[in-house]
Amino acid sequence: MNIALLPKIELHLHLDCGLSYEVVSAIDPSINKEAYDNDFIAPAKCYNLADFLTRAVKGFALMQTKEQLTLVVHDLFKQLKASNVIYAEIRFAPLQHLEQGLSPYEVVAITEAATAAAVKATGVEARLILCTLRHFSAAQSMQTVQLVQQFANTYVAGFDIAADEAGFPIDNHIAAFQYAKANNIPCTAHAGEAKGTESVWETLQYFGPTRIGHGVRSIEDPALVKHLHDNQIHLEICPSCNVQTNMYDTYAQHPIDQLYKAGVSLNINTDAPTIVNTTLNKEYQQLQQVFGWGIKEFYQCNLYAVKAAFIPSALQQKLL
């Protein structure tokens, strides 16, 4: 089986964590390869998620103008094409791109237009997810979800919460997720990564997402695994990222295979290809080597992903 040729779907991919050396050096020629390797790529083992996330700052610092955002979007599509990704949901936090005077609306409009152009240029289908962040205020979360609403019927398709799950509670963000629910805005949420099963339960209860980013620690509670299965809550799983953030010592200890065998809807993602130093091709290869996954599992994950994607059923049908 030639993994590189398999069509792939990625639902969990941070725009600011996926800058290639090519685009970084185009934006800032003073950054040489050694500096890129040191500052943008995390060590194979980080202390924890917060440590891992210190590298994301490097990415969004270079994404503060129309030209920079546009270059980064096109760069990412080039990488998606190289892993034969046919559909991707790309996420970013618009409020992190205001340092050089862009308004939140402009940031989303620029990124959306670049996405539309990149879809046309590469043939890779895509949607955007706008993220609030754990350390943001209630007002910032509300502003972000309202941006999703303002950009309805464009490439902007959903709402997420990212950043340091262990460091900040959910309180500031409940109203934004309620707003999303009231306005039929599709939602996902990072949970069950830096915290355990109680975090997944509270995320489901207070945010009501149809998908969970990571969610892998759900494996620790059989009742939660059953709940995910029975309610078709989809897990966006990013195996190498979880090993790197020190959730698991080795890839072999990752629960993706157990969750798959329990019938939970899930798919395979990179999360942060630059920080993790991975590609979707590499993730598939690892799953093949470590868990003996093959066409059957990869195809099933793609089916789950298409069903869970934030797209109209006509596009789902096209991808199947």
Binding site for Zn ion (CB under 5 A): 271
Is there a catalytic annotation at residue 112?
A: no
Question: Least distance to ligand HPA from the beta carbon of 204, Å?
Answer: 17
Measured from the CB atom, the residue of 49 and 243 that comes closer to ligand HPA is: 49
Q: Is 17 among the residues that bind ligand HPA (CB under 6 A)?
A: yes
Catalytic residue, chosen from 193, 236, 283, 297, is 193
Residue nearest to ligand HPA (CB): 162
Question: Least distance to ligand HPA from the beta carbon of 225, Å?
Answer: 21
Residue 241 interacts with, from Zn ion, ligand HPA, none (CB under 5-8 Å by kind): ligand HPA
Q: What is the DSSP string of the chain?
A: --GGGS-EEEEEEEGGG---HHHHHHH-TT--HHHHHHHTSPPSS-SSHHHHHTTHHHHHHT--SHHHHHHHHHHHHHHHHHTTEEEEEEEE-GGGS-TTS--HHHHHHHHHHHHHHHHHHH--EEEEEEEEETTS-HHHHHHHHHHHHHTTTTTEEEEEEES-TTTS-SGGGHHHHHHHHHTT--BEEEESSSS-HHHHHHHHHHH--SEEEE-GGGGG-HHHHHHHHHTTPEEEE-HHHHHHTTSSSSGGG-THHHHHHTT--EEE--B-HHHHT--HHHHHHHHHHHH---HHHHHHHHHHHHHHSSS-HHHHHHH-
Q: Is 42 among the residues that bind ligand HPA (CB under 6 A)?
A: no
With CB under 6 A as the contact rule, the residue among 160, 271, 283, 297 that binds ligand HPA is 271
Q: Is 193 among the residues that bind ligand HPA (CB under 6 A)?
A: yes
Residue 187 interacts with, from Zn ion, ligand HPA, none (CB under 5-8 Å by kind): none
Residue 80 interacts with, from ligand HPA, Zn ion, none (CB under 5-8 Å by kind): none
With CB under 6 A as the contact rule, the residue among 24, 110, 170, 241 that binds ligand HPA is 241
Question: Least distance to ligand HPA from the beta carbon of 109, Å?
Answer: 23
Measured from the CB atom, the residue of 90 and 241 that comes closer to ligand HPA is: 241
Chain residues that interact with ligand HPA, rule: CB under 6 A: 14, 17, 49, 53, 56, 162-163, 190, 193, 241, 271-272
Report, as residue numbers or ranges, the catalytic residues: 193
